[in-house]
Chain A
């Protein structure tokens, strides 16, 4: 079983709509959680950290459920520029190495 699992998608979303997807992690000792965004043939870039109380950054909302060991990302009022692969990332050890899910592809259509 992979440490971090995501639905690969693609999620096809009309412009302006809302899309949400989850990620599950297997290690209950996981300490820190992030969503990264990766555009085609580009490096990953931090979208947002995920905090226990949930957090929002503009149109993006992240939630963490430690009891069920999942993280979610919700994108409101989707823009064409939101089309990308969204990577769920977990830190489990003290060295800070990132453990990545395989990514969820989001395609926003006009």
Chain B
């Protein structure tokens, strides 16, 4: 069965510092991987997705993620944090071809210190 583990339920960085949010997955087949962001009292917004094309995926708002099959990881990074990046971030995996069934990690709350 597929699963997602996000290391660190809460990450705090200074404005301008590197953001690194960790995600490891378990999947029996080549997965589809996603990062979503959720602002308070809002739904989820897709940041980026991996669908077996390039292993380095660029997303919106300056975020990117690298798929590493050997490490079963899909960590999210941003070179320079901005105050507006404060939110909760979710990593998700989908195995089923042609269907929309996402398995989410527990989420990482990102705090940006001025």
Q: Are A and B interaction partners?
A: no
> Which residues does A use to contact B, with CB under 8 Å?
none
> Which residues does B use to contact A, with CB under 8 Å?
none
